[in-house]
Amino acid sequence: MVVPTMQSNRRWSLVSSRPDLDLPLTGCMGKASSMALGLALAQPKTRVIVIDGDGSLLMNLGTFVTIGEQAPANLIHVSFDNGVYATTGGQPVPGSHRVDFAAYAKSSGYRSSHQFEHLEDFISSIEDLFSAEGPVFINLKIQEDLDDLSADERMAMPSLVKNYPAMKDLFAS
């Protein structure tokens, strides 16, 4: 199951093969990784992938420590590190050139932590990364790529609020 948030939300929706299992967190900035943690703890046999934003990570930095402490083997934490708040127009994220997210993850207890600056490197490691025991953190240094969505396009984006009613009994006992 995948929990995308912010810009990854739209990117993921373009490629997702099981949108019915996606949990796109549109508001609630910073909490995608926390929701993914809860799901990973509840369903240890389900692989949970969260695709975070750099600004979102900074808003909930303690999440690294909370996840590291629980250390769910089935959790993969990806970050779209574009250096900006792309969703709100591309304003710079504070400290973006100094902050080392992968180091935060590592020192918080993730089983492995990586950063990629080149797509080819990421692609050649992807199988290993996604089959490794978690929690795995993968920081993707990506270029800012602003969306210019109309209000209607924004409203049509997938969202957890829309998906949730159909999902809430997925694992009901």
Partner 1 sequence: MSDNAAGLDPRSILKEFKKNKISHLVWLPDSETNFMYQVMTSDKDLTVVPVCREAETIAIAAGLQLGGKRTVVLVQNTGIFESGDSIRGIALDLNLPLLLLIGYRGWVRHGITKDSAAFYTEHFLHSWGIDYYLIESDSDAHLISHALSSAEANSKPVAVLLGREYS
Ligand X SMILES: Cc1ncc(C[n+]2csc(CCOP(=O)(O)OP(=O)(O)O)c2C)c(N)n1
With binding defined as CB under 6 A, does residue 72 bind ligand X?
Answer: no
Site for partner 1 (CB under 8 A): which residue of 91, 92, 100, 164?
Answer: 164
| Nearest distance from C-beta of residue 154 to ligand X, angstroms | 11
Positive or negative, the CA dihedral 86, 91, 93, 96 is positive
| Nearest distance from C-beta of residue 151 to ligand X, angstroms | 15
Of all residues in the shown chain, the one whose CB is closest to ligand X is 53
Beta bridge partners of 96: none
The residue among 27 and 165 lying less far from ligand X, judged by its C-beta, is 27
d(CA 158, CA 173): 27
With binding defined as CB under 6 A, does residue 102 bind ligand X?
Answer: no
| CA distance from start to end of the chain | 19
With binding defined as CB under 6 A, does residue 27 bind ligand X?
Answer: yes
Residue 83 is given by DSSP the state: S
Q: What are residue 32's phi and psi, to 5 degrees?
A: -60, -45
d(CA 164, CA 37): 17
d(CA 28, CA 14): 22
Site for ligand X (CB under 6 A): which residue of 25, 29, 32, 99?
Answer: 29
| Nearest distance from C-beta of residue 54 to Mg ion, angstroms | 4
Residue type for position 123: I
125 binds, among Mg ion, partner 1, ligand X, none (CB under 5 to 8 A by kind): none
User: Which 139-168 positions form the footprint of ligand X (CB under 6 A)?
Assistant: none
Give the interface with Mg ion as residue ranges (CB under 5 A).
53-55, 82
d(CA 28, CA 117): 28
87 binds, among partner 1, Mg ion, ligand X, none (CB under 5 to 8 A by kind): ligand X
Q: Which run of H or E residues covers position 136?
A: strand 136-141
Residues near partner 1, by CB under 8 A: 23, 27-32, 34-43, 46, 60, 62-63, 65-66, 69-70, 160-161, 164, 167-168, 170-173
